[in-house]
Chains A and B, each alone.
Chain A
Amino acid sequence: MVNTFKQLHDECISNNKKIFEVAQENMAKYADITVDEVRNFANKSLFAMKEAINSGMVSKELSLSGMCGQDCYKVQKRYKTERSMLGSVFEHVVEYALATSEENIRMGKIVACPTAGSCAILPSALIAVAQEFNLSEREQLNALITAGEIGRIISMKVSLAGAVAGCQAECGVASSMAAAAVCQLKGGNVSQILNASALALKNLLGLTCDPVAGLVEVPCVKRNPFLAIHAITAAELALCGVESKIPLDEVVDAMEQTGALMSPNLKESSLAGLAATKTALKIKKDVFG
């Protein structure tokens, strides 16, 4: 089993394989199933991601608390008549991310990837880019499996839970995975993909988990489109040959250390940060009494 990104890199290079090939073969071995079965599993997740986007794009239903649920509608409304400054990929990423995040908080069906609060980052970036460049389902699956392998190796070292290491371990990791997915989609090589992940994660170190009223809504819903775009920035840089001076394994070490040093008040307990602001406390009182 591959435990570090260095091992993953070396295994890819010495066998002349892509990350998704190594990942799906190792998963097949680990679960005692065929590579086709691994891909079928991933395909179910990919399909569910697209379903979540489709449902979210046509709903204006509010969340249980009433705090969120109509931002996707606002974004779509503007882009019906006005073009985004950054073009159509940006428009679709933001729409799909809000659609998925809002589906999550209104108790719709989503794919936790890696977690429910960060569920929109990878699918929005992956699917918007694939659509823009007419990339096949096979290529989308390759990208999803690549991203999954990135998340898996990070999770060997750090629990992907806000309560353990803050939001850097949830949305941060999701963005790092999405960067890898987009880089794979656009033809990046093994080293470019790992650089894309490192660049994305490195620039999110220290991200706290301080949700208002303890709910997966503020700032989580809107953080998803931000970090999906962040992932594309990382993928673009890596495809240009920009490298992370700190290798991905060490960025993960830094994330683990940063998470351990972070106050528990900033790790999903809603005792500090945004959750402790005057407005947040008022919202909490309004929602829970």
Chain B
Amino acid sequence: MKKTSLFDIISPIMIGPSSSHTAGAVRLGLLAKHIYKNTPKKVIFKLYNSYASTGKGHGTEKGLLAGVLGLNVDDRRIKDIFNSDIAKSIDYEFQYADNFKYHPNSVDITFIGENNMTIAGISVGAGEILIRKINDFRVNLTGNYNTLLTVYKDKPGVISQVSSIMQYHNINIASLTCDRNAKGKEASMIVCVDGVISDEVIETVEEIPEVYFVSYVEKLDN
């Protein structure tokens, strides 16, 4: 991952030992929590490849759980998270797998609760992460931007309606990613923006008849 700002070079302040295997794991858990939003009954973490084989020595499992529980990368509680009171509030399980088609540092986080959701993420290096799939939808979330996620009926004009709402509220779109299951079926739209998205904007997007689901995912602090 290329670093481009002075701040990136002299940070983050984090719990060691590895930016990809520890801090990256915390950020993946945290961003997954932001996406899921509800309180899960159970969380299943499926670790792949290097995450599976060297995770124990890097505190990767601890990082993932700590993130899902809402801790930041510099929280000293990460080290002893399995014995902490906050970890007792949910049920969790770790699974391990090899899959050469996956990035070396991959994890699938499955939330089980009111609704079930599987979030697939990778830790790309230097603490930078990428959520690449939510359930069956391909996405591209880094946690570096405030982001609006929508699922809608694939039909001409929905993308332009959403972007018009953004324009009306003077919000600059940093990136826009769309995907769909099949023509005319469910589609997803991921809108990363500069600045913040207000409740009013979210409600206006929800009012578009073709839109089934809207979720606002705030960027990670560090």
Contacts and interface: CB of A to CB of B under 8 A. Distances in A.
Interface of A: 23-24, 26-27, 30-31, 38, 41-42, 44-45, 48, 63-65, 103-117, 119, 144-145, 147-149, 151-152, 155-156, 159-161, 163-164, 177, 213-217, 287-288
Choose among B11, B14, B22, B57 the residue with the greatest number of A CB atoms under 10 Å from its CB. B57
8 contacts: A24-B6, A26-B6, A48-B13, A107-B17, A152-B5, A152-B6, A155-B2, A155-B9
Contacts of A26: 6
Choose among A23, A31, A148 the residue with the greatest number of B CB atoms under 10 Å from its CB. A148
B50 A214 contact: yes
Contacts of A116: 14, 16-19, 22-23
Interface stretch (B73-81, B133-141, B150-158, B173-181): B73-81
Contact of B1 (A27, A161, A213): A161
Given A151-B9, A287-B57, A109 B15 contact: yes
Nearest to A47: B13
A42 B10 contact: yes
Chain B interface size range: 35 or more
Interface string B1-41: 11111111111111111111011000000000000000000
A105 B17 contact: yes
Nearest to A51: B13
Given A116-B14, A216-B58, 13 more contacts: A31-B7, A38-B6, A65-B57, A107-B62, A107-B78, A109-B76, A112-B11, A112-B19, A114-B126, A149-B6, A213-B54, A214-B50, A215-B17
B55 to A, nearest CB: 10
Contacts of A163: 104, 125
B1 to A, nearest CB: 6
Given A213-B54, A214-B54, A45 B1 contact: no
A104 B126 contact: no
B121 interface: no
A109 B14 contact: yes
Interface string B39-79: 00000000000100110111100100000000000101011
B127 interface: yes
Interface of A is mostly: helix
A111 B12 CA distance: 6
A264 B207 CA distance: 51
A281 B130 CA distance: 32
B1 A113 contact: no
Choose among B17, B20, B50, B53 the residue with the greatest number of A CB atoms under 10 Å from its CB. B17
A104 B56 contact: no
A216 B59 CA distance: 11
A18 to B, nearest CB: 14
B22 A107 contact: yes
A111 B23 CA distance: 11
The 3 closest A-B pairs by CB, nearest first: A104-B16, A151-B9, A214-B54
Contacts of A109: 13-16, 74, 76
Contacts of B62: 107
Interface in B75-95: 76, 78-79
A45 B56 contact: no
Nearest to A163: B125
Given A105-B17, A116-B16, A64 B57 contact: yes
Contact of B57 (A23, A108, A111, A215): A215
B9 A110 contact: no
B7 A112 contact: no
Contacts of A152: 3-6, 8-9
A54 to B, nearest CB: 14
Nearest to A30: B5
Contact of A288 (B17, B57, B78, B79): B57
Nearest to A68: B17
A110 B54 contact: no
Contacts of A217: 17, 57
A248 to B, nearest CB: 16
B147 to A, nearest CB: 19
B145 to A, nearest CB: 14
